[in-house]
Structure 1
Amino acid sequence: MPNDPLAPGFGVEETFFLVDKRSRNLPSQLPAGFLQAARNTFKDGFSQEMFQSLVRLDMVQPSLLEISEARAYLLERRTRLASLAGEYQLAPICVGSHPFADWHVQVPTDDSHYQPLFEDQRMIAHRSLVGGMRVHVLIPPDTDRIKVMNRVLGWLPLLLALSTSSPLWNGRPTGLMSYRQAVCAEWPHRGIPEHFPDESAFDAYVQWLMAAGSIRRESDLAWCVRPSPRFSSLEFLAADGCPSVEDALCIVALFRALVSWAMTQEDGDPQDSQLQRLVLKENHWRAMRFGIHGMYLDASGEASLSAGAWLARAHGCFGELAESEGDGQAFVRGRHVLRYGSSADRQLHRYREALQAGLPRQQALVAVVDELIAETCGG
């Protein structure tokens, strides 16, 4: 158990591309029998995403309490998925974008949950061949989730930068470390959430949008962070899928510590001001574009700081709380990512290394996928 008996429970959901082992590409449709076998294996912990080749390992409740428990949970689920996929000549990769798959030939899922999205958003939906990670942190019933959300917003680009894993798209480097976020930005009700003073104002906004026919359900609001429509939690959606379990756990633990810290702040504290919104928007873009190599604006909007300095500032702000909850290693892992690179850095390095070795571009991209398979399935 964490040292702090009040440490909030949390949960993690991961999305996986299912890669054909022979071509390393995404199949347009999954082999017969795979989906039923997966549902039999994971029960309610499995669902299809928007495309046939994209699946998600869900959770019934965000009931985890310790990062060590989360590590065992993620590794066990990944191992089972890899074993099952291997029986159908498939391999899972947990990543923000497949390096060279062509979205034009991907077949939407038959799941009735997603069909309205294709009807409403058309090509935007068909282009959304991306994968992420969702982190839930439980919020007590007497705590306003919107007020907590407003307090954590400014820190979220740092977490995005540490998670970046989508620098390649449709067979070429994009120049962005999280091209997934650029794809998500095409959607309405994505990216940075609107401003609300409290949860009652948010609820009224949801009801207004539904009555106006702008959204079909609350879950259509898929900002980088939101009050979960399924659980009594705050849900972080901005992170790219992390091939490394340890990188994923770093994001999970940092977000939990951040939410815990936000719940200790007084209502009168400055939060979500117009200036902070402008700083947030700029830092979100810099995280997408540069990842851990960006220079970020501080809360005043005047000075710039590196991702390393920003992580150090986070440690000074809520590092002690993270230690009390058993999440202190998140900062150690964060510093590791800053020193050795995020998944986006590793992918670009492998791609360029393969090109320099004389491999054709397609084979260099295959080498990247091979490394993603090994990292996803090897822990």
Structure 2
Amino acid sequence: MTKLQFNGSPRPTLGIEIELGLVDRQTMALSSACKRLLEHLPDEKGEFYKPELMQCCIELNSDVSDTVADARGDLEKKLRTVQAACDELDLGLWWGGTHPFSRWQDQCVTQTERYQSLVELLQEMARRLITHGLHVHVGVESGDKAVMICDRIMQYLPTLLALSASSPFWQGRDTGLASQRSKIMEGLPTAGLPTLMRNWSEYVWLVNHMVETGFINTIREIWWDVRPHHNFGTVEVRVCDMPGNMDDVCGLAALVQCLVRYLSDEIDEGTYQFDCHPMMIRQNKWRASRFGLAAPLVNSYNYRSQSVPEVAEKLGRQLRDVSQELGCEAELEHVVAISKSSNGAIQQRAVLERTGQKTEVVRQLIEAARI
């Protein structure tokens, strides 16, 4: 069996990955233009600007940062570079979990050996992955701690999904959901909520088992909503839809960073692990994907329903000291503001109601998100 070395971090460092759709500025439809765009970017593009499975998407990665503000400054610099290249190519950057009207059947797969083998393995389940998400990495000391945090943070994942939900449309239709992306991702055999793991050894065994039996090609095909990342030495939270703007990205990143640090401190202090039934998390995740900010989330301690604003306010109070320590108090407060106002799903539907045109949804929100 392959031994996986967890490259732990002594500090709760932060890394942010954003996936943005590429659209034709004339039609507002998705455009398989990633290869052309990458050719217009700096030489270090392989490290910070990356193609995804589908050519209509580009991924931007921040440097390893100590604070949310540092990560934001780095991402905004890279975004300006990408925006300038897009302007030359008459492209726009779409901030949302799914595109309002483009069809997955019309999109092109990125021509690499890895992505071709992935499509061969997963067939249509891979071809319809025209989705965009926000991934947040937070450094932790050890693999065992990363696995424990993955288990403890799961009860907070539905709240993160409700706050970030930005994919109400699919194949040109309003799905009735706030996050269609989360349902598409759950169609993959190694996505959605992770399985029970008690320590790093069990995680390594599970990964090796899946590779050796041909269930997956590589460890990179584990797309759980939260997972340990051994190369980076992080807990990676992947449940979020791609939010509609940088303010929301940074607010959600702050919430994730604070939660990981808070749970890490709990583990160090010897706090007893509360046994939250997996069905409670699954139920709340469904509510978040269906209703977004209007979701009634069931409290796993007293089994009473709480609104997303109530949950967000409670988290804001609970994590205030941690946010001050990490220098992200303002960004964490923005999460409470999101819960009381709107997320991407609400904004997209509002533009459609005003204009009656899905092209205007794309056009107006692309302009609103520009740095």
Q: Which category describes the TM-score, using the shorter chain as reference length?
A: over 0.9
Residue type of the alignment partner of 2:171: N
Per-residue deviation, residues 307-350 of structure 1 (Å, max 9, x unmatched): 11111221233222122211212332112212220011010011
12, 24, 27: which one aligns with 1:20? 24
Partner residue in 1 for 2:6: none
- 1:344-359 equivalences under 5 Å are 344-355=345-356
Aligned position for 2:362:
369
User: In 1, are the aligned partners of 2:11 and 2:141 still within 8 Å (CA)?
Assistant: no
Partner of 1:34: 37
Which range moved further: 258-267 or 281-290? 258-267
Q: Which residue of 2 aligns with 1:117?
A: 118
Question: With structure 2 as the length reference, what TM-score do the two structures score?
Answer: 0.92
Residue aligning to 1:72: 73
Residue 14 of structure 1 deviates from its aligned partner by 0.9
- Does 2:293 align with 1:300? no
1:1-379 mapped onto 2 (5 Å cutoff) = 8-27=12-31, 29-30=32-33, 33-38=36-41, 40=43, 42-59=45-62, 63-141=64-142, 144-266=145-267, 269-271=271-273, 273=275, 275-300=276-301, 302-355=303-356, 364-377=357-370, 379=371
How far did 1:160 drift? Answer: 1.2
Pick closer, same or farther for the CA change 1:7–1:375 going to 2, 3 Å.
farther
So what's the TM-score if we normalise by structure 1?
0.90
Q: 1:334 to 1:34 in 2, by over 3 A?
A: closer
Per the TM alignment, residue 103 of structure 1 is displaced from its structure 2 partner at its CA by 0.8
Of 241-250 and 71-80, more deviation after overlay is shown by 71-80
Contact 2:67 2:327 in 1 (8 A): yes
Whole-Å Cα distance in 1 between the matches of residues 11 and 350 of structure 2? 38
CA RMSD in angstroms comes to: 1.9
Post-superposition offset of 1:230: 3.2
For structure 1, the 5+ residue unaligned runs are 1-5, 356-363
Contact residue 147 and residue 199 of structure 2 kept, 8 A: yes
After TM superposition, give the deviation of residue 36 of structure 1 in Å: 2.0
Structure 2: state its 5+ residue gaps.
1-9
> Is the CA contact 2:34–2:55 (under 8 Å) kept in the aligned structure 1?
no
CA shift in 2, pair 1:235/1:266, >3 Å: closer
Instruction: Judge conservation of contact 1:7–1:260 (CA < 8 Å) in 2.
Output: no
Q: Percent identity?
A: 25
Q: Indicate if the aligned counterparts of 1:31 and 1:88 stay in contact, CA closer than 8 A.
A: no
3-state SS in 1 of match to 2:16 = strand
Shift of 1:39: 5.6
- Kept in 2, the 8 Å contact 1:296–1:307? The answer is yes
Query: How many aligned residue pairs are there?
Result: 361
Residue 243 of structure 1 and its aligned partner are, at CA, apart by 2.3
| CA distance 1:43–1:20, change in 2 (3 Å) | same
Distance in 1 between the 2:230 and 2:40 partners? 28
Aligned to 1:316, what secondary structure does the other structure show?
A: helix
- Contact map agreement 1:150 1:272 (CA 8 A) in 2: no
State the 1:33 CA deviation: 4.0
| Aligned mates of 1:217, 1:317 — CA distance in 2 | 38
Return closer, same or farther for 1:293/1:121 CA change in 2, 3 Å cut-off: same
Separation in structure 1 between the aligned mates of residue 140 and residue 265 of structure 2, nearest angstrom: 12
Give CA-to-partner distance per residue, 1:185-234, whole Å, 9 cap, x none: 11001110000111111111111111111111111111000001431000
SS class of match (1:266): helix
Q: Give the Cα separation in 1 of the matches to 2:336 and 2:28.
A: 32
Contact 1:20 1:89 in 2 (8 A): yes
- TM-aligned CA distance change 1:142 to 1:238, over 3 Å: closer
Q: Secondary structure at the match of 2:58?
A: strand
Tell me the secondary structure at the aligned position of residue 177 of structure 1: coil
**Conservation of the 8 A alpha-carbon contact between 2:309 and 2:336:** yes
- Alpha-carbon distance between aligned partners in 2 of 1:96 and 1:209, rounded to the nearest angstrom: 28
